[in-house]
Amino acid sequence: GLDADSTTKIAHRLLKSARDLSIPTGDGEPLMVTLSLGTATQTPDGCLANPSELLAAAGQALYHSKRSGRDRHTRYDAIEVA
């Protein structure tokens, strides 16, 4: 697996690649692509007990990105969970 810093680096590369992408359209205005990303990682002393909890945490981080303005990455360990 990857640690949180590695997933953040990959997410930022994906965001940059999407921002740099320009898809031609019939009206001459390029279609711009944006991404909202959320990641979560498990550490040996972490609180995510199983793969389902890890996936749910990544989903929470994803929706935090969307609520925060989209076109961004959020790490689960960087949000306050209610």
Q: Which of 41, 23, 31, 50 is nearest to 77 (CA)?
A: 41
Largest distance between two CA atoms of the chain: 54
Average pLDDT of the chain is 90
Question: Which pTM does this prediction carry?
Answer: 0.83
pLDDT in tens, 21-33: 989 898 988 898 8
Residue type, 17: S
Output the pLDDT for position 56.
94
46: its two tokens: 């972490």
* CA–CA dist 70, 32 (Å, integer): 13
